[in-house]
């Protein structure tokens, strides 16, 4: 197929068919065709409607009612021929396309005669206003993606949608939806959830050649979707048809054509190198071979693909675990190829009858990567001695079976069962050298380093077993939906530091203090800078699981031809168990409403006013099970030292405060519900309201505008102050009262008589606040040769916490971040959040120069993110206010006037500056332009396509993330020399070549 025909086909596939509206809502793998028949001179009930997929032979027949409406539900994505018949004679035809998240409409107007009817089809024009949908987002098929310069991952697809921005680079390739953190999204492939169950960061994926269509839900989604307070990425894969199809693709990203990276320096840009990407290199070569066709014509089909991948990735990094204070001093070379990085996948579809089908889906995306670590001199750009290696096991397997059936013309049923297994295990080779970090403000060549890469040993494997049942029933003008789904999430996660220790060297300024569990642990009264070392021992873990279930009801009511109302309700249950099998956290949500409406104010089907309102809940992730209920021991001991050995470990150790030199943040006793969860606590939730208007201006152009308001209804986080159970902290709703028992002796039994109710004032935490306000404007233009999408989003993301994770300090501990651990950490926290982008412009599209040659483009212009200045101290050392750790919004000035005349620096005499969140500027505006060139040609009877994509054509490398830790690690009053230095920049320009052939 040449490019011009391809562009037109893509436009038709992506369009949302419409005419006279009829109740029809798509689910996450199928959609519906609705239609209407008007007959002059006869009754519509004398006619029959038929929908047929010519590629698979799937055919559905239905008797048309007296009102002239008809509906085909649970249809796989594809193009269908809709025919109207009387007495076996076809009197009218139309062709419609069914897409994810949308519904096609076929409208017929015929004149009855004594002979064959006169055919007059109304509504065959392509329209982009779907009167059956009130949700927000984007639907795009792989054919269009192939013509755009878009990186081949879920996140890049999501970033095409309105209201999405890139997540912090510390979390990998992630996206923030509507002001939510990057750990609040969910992803589905063929109805199987493939989200990372431990942290919510990232998703399982398949090669792009395997995908057929993508749907990005940014808001207003129905009660069928849950367990997310961000957005939903939904995809379906290709299936076989009656036509044999063979394809081979190749993709090559050469490191030789990539631009050089950047360097950041400390001390305002004139100090030592902090980050160095100038020697980073990435090289990829992959190919895929796929085959699809009928096993039994019109009945049984298959699609199979294999995708070997060769990837090398070299980059500079830091030793230790304190990246905020550590310069690049190591260099990693990673390689994964051959059988160690081989994807395979398959889908088998069985049309048992025209009304009943089974689909089998499975894949393996396992990869084993060898990672070698070397010493690195950033100032000279030289790679030094070999330090050790590790084997990184990533990916896993997925499998599912799905039944779709039309029990009657009005009743349909879907059942899905599946299982996802994913591994995140690192196995190091060097077990003699501990993790060593040196955060002292000294030249890099004077810092103490480990003799190896450091790190930890253990396993990390997730399993997610899923079952769901969905029913749809048409009752007059109502489409009733009901469903139940259940997930059993099991994780095996253990960890222990190499050699049993993890050392961090720091300096303490005169009169600066170290906070302990019960107040001040130590104050430097030496009158000079004091070097010390802390040993954090974080070890434990095991096997634990979470049981999640939900039911929902929804009614879509076609009130009139121009008005549709949707009312739904969903209730979730979240149960989390620890290594003992006992439940330590259990929540049953309130009934969560999902309301929506669409109204065609003119009645011509070319515009709509729509709105949605809903509440969404987020489950407690398995990372919380690991931190609180897997037997983790987390203690830090502070020492003075006299030197270090060849491994980097300190020598001449002396506890800095004698017997009181250790801080215990977790004991190796799994949490129990009586002590870990406040009895009044409610799960994390968000409320969302959307009001929008969409108008088809011409046959080629659709414009829309919408307003969005989101706010956190209830926040759920761990409180670790002295009123909490000291074994593992306690889950609370910040700003509310709570009742719980204590386990202060760490024996996993509630202390007798310890159950008590604490007021919000006693706990001292502020009420959690997080709001997102946005106005989005869109223009979509589709013509024969040109397709354009323009999106502008104005937004504000404001509050005293970001959500499940913390981008500003790079903490990926959803549900148990440092937020709300102590009141002091929230003093000054209110402000614009790290994912706040006031202005975002997006423009992408394709233009065909000839029938066989097209260009694609994808561009984004975005304002910067707000910046903070984190400190390491607080004006009060009262343990009920300030605990033993955490980044504050206070900076110690090193001024301590002796106001009471005792010749000492008392805590109350120290002078601090309060620097509220997001008040020290923003990162720069960023602009990115990607271009592609696509050429179709033939070799013999093989349809070929050659593609060149150039990403970041202008090679703009503005800062996207920078160091916000003003004070050095655990060293109030000592400025971090790397404060303000860049962590990351826009990715340098690189080139991607692609070739594909089909026959």
| Same domain assignment for residues 357 and 489 | yes
Q: Tell me the per-residue pLDDT of 947-997, one tens digit each, with 9 for 90 and over.
A: 999 999 999 999 999 999 999 988 999 999 999 999 999 999 999 999 999
Burial 231-264 (b: 16+ CB within 10 A, else e): bbbbbbbbbbbbeeeebbbebbbeeeebeebbbb
Question: Is residue 5 pLDDT above 50, yes or no?
Answer: no
pLDDT per residue over 337-363, tens digit each? 988 999 999 999 999 999 999 999 999
Contact 366, 396 (CB under 8 A): yes
Count of helix runs (H) and strand runs (E) in the chain? 6, 63
- Residues 934, 862, single domain; the answer is yes
- The stretch 787-812 carries a mean pLDDT of 95
Residue 286: domain span: 140-455+469-668+682-715+769-998
Please tell me whether residues 105 and 165 are part of one structural domain. no
Q: Are 186 and 197 in contact (CB under 8 A)?
A: no
Decide which of 126, 152, 177 is a domain's last residue. Answer: 126
Q: Choose the final residue of a domain: 73, 104, 126.
A: 126
Residue whose pair of structure tokens reads 């697809």 in the numeric block: 157
- Mean pLDDT, rounded, for 255-269: 97
Are 117 and 174 in the same domain? no
Residue 117 has pLDDT above 60, yes or no: no
pLDDT given at position 32:
85
Phi/psi at 891 (nearest 5 deg)?
-115, 130
Query: Using CA atoms, how far apart are residues 807 and 377, in angstroms rounded to an integer?
Result: 28
pLDDT exceeds 70 at position 127 = no
Instruction: Specify the CATH number for the domain of residue 119.
Output: 2.60.40.1120
How far is the CA of 748 from the CAs of 418, 544, 629, 717, 740, in angstroms?
35, 16, 10, 21, 14
| Predicted confidence band of residue 128 (pLDDT cuts 50, 70, 90) | low
Residue 736 resides in a domain: no
Gyration radius of the chain over CA positions? 30
Residues 158 and 210 in one domain: yes
The closest alpha carbon to 143, from 58, 238, 217, belongs to: 238
Look up the pTM and report it: 0.92
Q: Is residue 752 part of a domain?
A: no
Query: How much is the pLDDT for 42?
Result: 83
Average pLDDT over residues 302-308: 98
Q: What is the pLDDT of residue 6?
A: 40
Q: Say which residues have a Cβ less than 8 Å from residue 566's Cβ, sequence separation at least 6.
A: 25, 134, 222, 554, 555, 556, 557, 594, 595, 596, 597
Would you say residue 663 lies in a domain?
yes
pLDDT in tens, 204-218: 999 999 999 999 999
Q: Is residue 746 part of a domain?
A: no
The pLDDT, as a whole number, for residue 389 is 96
What CATH number is associated with residue 344? Answer: 2.40.170.20
pLDDT in tens, 422-468: 999 999 999 999 999 999 988 888 999 999 999 999 999 999 999 99
pLDDT at 517 (0 to 100): 86
Looking at residue 114, its pLDDT comes to 54
Q: Structure tokens of 273? A: 């190198």
In the numeric block, which tokens belong to residue 342?
A: 């081989």
Quickly list DSSP for 375-443: EEETTTTEEEEEEEEEEEEEEEEEEEEEEEEESSSSEEEEEEEEEEEEEEEEEES--SS-EEEE-SSS-
Assigned token pair, 411: 């009743």
Given 76, 99, 126, which residue is the final one in a domain? 126
Task: Give domain status of residue 11, yes or no.
Answer: no
- Identify whether 132 is part of a domain: no
Query: Residue 11 has what pLDDT?
Result: 36
Residue 444 vs residues 54, 193, 271, 980: alpha-carbon distances, Å: 68, 45, 10, 18
With b meaning 16 or more CB within 10 Å and e meaning fewer, what string describes 77-87?
Answer: bbebbbbbbbe
792, 693: one domain: yes
| 661, 809: one domain | yes
Per-residue pLDDT reduced to its tens digit, 872-882:
999 999 999 99
Tell the burial category of 153 from Cβ atoms under 10 Å away from its Cβ (0-12, 13-18, 19+). Answer: middle
Task: Give pLDDT tens digits for 744-793.
Answer: 888 999 999 999 999 999 999 999 999 999 999 999 999 999 999 999 99
pLDDT of 851 higher than 90? yes
CA–CA dist 599, 559 (Å, integer): 10
More confident residue, 150 or 31: 150
Q: How far apart are CA 106 and CA 49, in angstroms?
A: 10
196 and 237 belong to one structural domain? yes
On whether both 954 and 816 belong to a single domain, the answer is: yes
Count of structural domains, the chain = 2
3-state secondary structure of 459: coil
User: pLDDT tens digit string along 695-718?
Assistant: 999 989 999 999 999 999 999 999
SS (H, E, C) 308-359: EEEEEEEEEECCCCCCCCCCCCEEEEEEECHHHHEEEEEEEEEEEECCEEEE
pLDDT of 506 above 80: yes
| Shared domain check, 945 and 852 | yes
Residue 821 reports pLDDT greater than 60: yes
The reported pLDDT for the residue numbered 676 is 96
Burial class (CB in 10 A: 0-12, 13-18, 19+), 560: exposed
The span from the CA of 36 to the CA of 622, in Å, is 49
Residue-wise pLDDT for 212-237, tens only, equals 999 999 999 899 999 999 999 999 99
Nearest to 236 by CA among 141, 103, 342, 366: 141
Opening angle at CA 625, ends 620 and 628, nearest 5: 115
SS3 446: helix
Which tens digit of pLDDT belongs to each residue from 61-83? Answer: 988 888 888 888 888 888 899 99
Residue 721 has pLDDT above 50, yes or no: yes
The pLDDT value given to residue 74: 85
Residues 111, 147, single domain; the answer is no
Q: Are 972 and 951 in contact (CB under 8 A)?
A: no
Res. 288: pLDDT tops 80? yes
Quote the CA–CA distance of 878 and 874 in Å, as a whole number. 10
Same domain? 120 vs 180:
no
> Model confidence at 815, in pLDDT bands (50, 70, 90)?
confident
**How far apart (Å, rounded) are the C-alpha atoms in residues 443 and 863?**
35
For residues 916-947, one letter each, b for 16 or more C-beta atoms within 10 angstroms of the residue's C-beta and e for the rest, the string is: ebbeeeebbebebbbbbebebeeeeeeebbeb
Q: What is the pLDDT of residue 8?
A: 34
pLDDT at 605: 85
When pLDDT is cut at 50, 70 and 90, the band that residue 398 belongs to is very high
Instruction: Flag whether 406 is in a domain.
Output: yes
How far apart are the C-alpha atoms of 897 and 903, rounded to whole Å? 9
- The region of weakest confidence among 662-666, 685-689, 861-865, 986-990 is 662-666
- Does the structure show a pLDDT above 70 at 933? yes
Please, which pLDDT band fits residue 1 given cuts at 50, 70 and 90?
A: very low
Query: What is the pLDDT, as a whole number, of residue 113?
Result: 63
Comparing C-alpha atoms, which of 845, 604, 608 is closest to residue 11?
Answer: 845
Closest to 44 (Cα-Cα) out of 23, 65, 72, 70: 65
Which of 103-107, 751-755, 926-930, 974-978 shows the lowest per-residue confidence on average (mean pLDDT)? 103-107
Q: How confident is residue 122, by pLDDT bands cut at 50, 70 and 90?
A: very low
Tokens encoding 247:
């394809």
Segment 318-331 shows an average pLDDT of 91
pLDDT (average), residues 632-641: 96
Mean pLDDT of the chain: 92
Residue with tokens 């991948």: 309
């Amino acid at each position: 197929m040449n490019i011009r025909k391809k562009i037109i086909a893509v436009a038709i596939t992506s369009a949302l068919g419409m005419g006279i509206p009829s109740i029809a809502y798509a689910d996450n793998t199928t959609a519906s065709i609705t239609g209407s028949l008007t007959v002059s001179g006869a009754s519509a009930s004398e006619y029959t409607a038929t929908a047929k997929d010519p590629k698979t032979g799937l055919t559905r027949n239905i008797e048309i009612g007296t009102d002239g409406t008809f509906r085909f539900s649970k249809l796989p994505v594809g193009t269908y021929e809709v025919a109207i018949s009387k007495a076996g004679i076809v009197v009218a035809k139309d062709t419609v396309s069914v897409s994810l998240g949308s519904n096609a409409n076929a409208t017929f107007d015929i004149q009855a005669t004594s002979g064959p009817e006169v055919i007059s089809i109304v509504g065959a024009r392509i329209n982009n206003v779907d009167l059956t949908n009130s949700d927000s987002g984007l639907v795009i098929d792989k054919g269009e993606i192939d013509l755009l310069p878009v990186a081949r991952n879920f996140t890049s697809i999501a970033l095409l949608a309105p209201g999405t921005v890139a997540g912090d680079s510390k979390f990998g390739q992630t996206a923030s939806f509507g002001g939510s953190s990057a750990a609040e999204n969910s992803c589905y492939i063929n109805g199987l959830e493939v989200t990372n169950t431990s942290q919510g960061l990232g998703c399982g994926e398949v090669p792009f050649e395997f995908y057929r269509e993508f749907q990005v839900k940014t808001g207003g989604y129905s009660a069928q979707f849950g367990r997310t307070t961000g957005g939903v990425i939904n995809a379906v894969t290709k299936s076989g048809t009656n036509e044999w199809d063979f394809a081979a693709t190749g993709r090559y990203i050469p490191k030789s054509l990539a631009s050089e990276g950047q360097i950041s320096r400390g001390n305002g840009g004139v100090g030592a190198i902090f980050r160095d990407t100038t020697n980073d290199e990435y090289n990829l070569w992959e190919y895929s071979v796929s085959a699809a066709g009928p096993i039994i014509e019109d009945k049984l089909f298959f699609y199979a693909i294999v995708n070997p991948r060769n990837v090398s990735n070299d980059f500079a990094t830091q030793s230790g675990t304190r990246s905020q204070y550590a310069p690049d001093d190591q260099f990693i070379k990673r390689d994964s190829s051959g059988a160690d990085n081989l994807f395979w996948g398959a889908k088998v579809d069985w049309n048992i009858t025209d009304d009943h089908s089974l689909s089998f889906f499975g894949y393996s995306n396992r990869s084993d990567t060898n990672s070698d670590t070397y010493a690195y001199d950033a100032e000279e750009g030289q790679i030094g001695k070999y330090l050790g290696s590790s084997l990184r096991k990533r990916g896993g397997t997925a499998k599912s079976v799905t039944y779709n059936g039309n029990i009657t013309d009005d009743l349909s049923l879907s059942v899905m069962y599946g299982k996802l297994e994913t591994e995140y295990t690192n196995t190091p080779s060097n077990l003699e050298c501990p993790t060593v970090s040196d955060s002292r403000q000294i030249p890099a060549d004077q810092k103490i380093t480990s003799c190896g890469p450091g790190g930890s040993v253990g396993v990390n494997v997730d399993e997610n077993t899923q079952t769901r049942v969905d029913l749809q029933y048409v009752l007059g003008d109502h489409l009733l939906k009901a469903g139940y789904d259940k997930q059993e999430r099991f994780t095996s996660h253990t960890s222990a530091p190499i050699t049993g220790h993890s050392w961090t060297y720091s300096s303490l300024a005169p009169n600066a203090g170290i906070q302990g569990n019960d107040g001040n642990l130590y104050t430097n009264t030496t009158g000079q800078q004091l070097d010390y070392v802390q040993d954090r021992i974080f070890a434990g873990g095991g096997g634990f699981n979470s049981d999640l279930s939900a039911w929902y009801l929804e009614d879509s009511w076609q009130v009139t031809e121009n008005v549709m109302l949707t009312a739904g309700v969903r209730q979730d249950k979240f149960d989390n168990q620890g290594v003992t099998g006992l439940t330590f956290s259990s929540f049953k949500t309130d009934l969560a409403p999902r309301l929506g409406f669409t109204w065609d104010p003119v009645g011509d089907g070319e515009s709509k006013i729509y709105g949605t309102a809903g509440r969404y809940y987020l489950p407690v992730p398995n990372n919380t099970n690991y931190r609180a209920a897997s037997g983790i021991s987390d203690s830090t001991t502070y020492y003075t030292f006299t030197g270090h050995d060849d491994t980097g470990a300190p020598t001449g150790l002396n506890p800095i405060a004698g017997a009181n030199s250790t801080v215990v943040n977790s004991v190796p006793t799994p949490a129990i519900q009586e002590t870990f969860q406040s009895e009044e606590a409610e799960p994390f939730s968000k409320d969302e309201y959307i009001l929008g208007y969409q108008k088809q201006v011409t046959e080629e152009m659709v414009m829309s505008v919408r307003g969005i308001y989101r706010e956190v209804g209830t926040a759920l986080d761990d409180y670790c102050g002295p009123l909490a159970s000291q074994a593992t902290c306690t889950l609370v709703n910040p700003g509310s009262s709570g009742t719980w028992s204590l386990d202060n002796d760490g024996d996993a039994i509630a202390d007798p008589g310890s159950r008590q109710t604490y007021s919000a004032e006693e706990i001292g935490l502020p009420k959690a606040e997080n709001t997102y306000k946005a106005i989005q404007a869109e223009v979509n233009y589709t013509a024969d040769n040109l397709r354009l999408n323009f999106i502008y989003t104005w937004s504000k993301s404001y509050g005293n916490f970001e959500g499940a994770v913390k981008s500003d300090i790079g903490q990926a501990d959803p549900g148990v971040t440092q937020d709300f651990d102590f009141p002091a950490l929230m003093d000054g926290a209110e402000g614009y959040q790290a994912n706040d982008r006031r202005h975002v412009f997006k423009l992408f599209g394709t233009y065909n120069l000839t029938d066989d040659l097209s260009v694609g483009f994808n561009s984004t212009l975005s304002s910067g993110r707000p910046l903070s200045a984190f400190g390491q101290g607080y004006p009060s050392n009262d343990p009920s206010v300030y605990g033993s750790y955490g980044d504050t919004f206070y900076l110690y000035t090193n001024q301590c006037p002796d106001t009471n005349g005792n010749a000492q620096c008392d805590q109350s005499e120290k002078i601090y500056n309060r620097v509220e969140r997001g008040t020290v500027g923003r990162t720069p505006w960023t602009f990115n332009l990607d271009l592609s060139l696509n050429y179709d040609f033939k070799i013999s009877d093989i349809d070929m396509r050659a593609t060149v994509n150039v990403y970041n054509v202008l090679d703009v490398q503005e800062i996207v993330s920078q160091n916000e830790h003003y004070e050095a690690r655990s060293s109030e009053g000592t400025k971090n020399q790397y404060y303000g230095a860049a962590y990351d920049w826009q990715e340098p320009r690189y080139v991607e070549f692609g070739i594909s052939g089909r026959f």
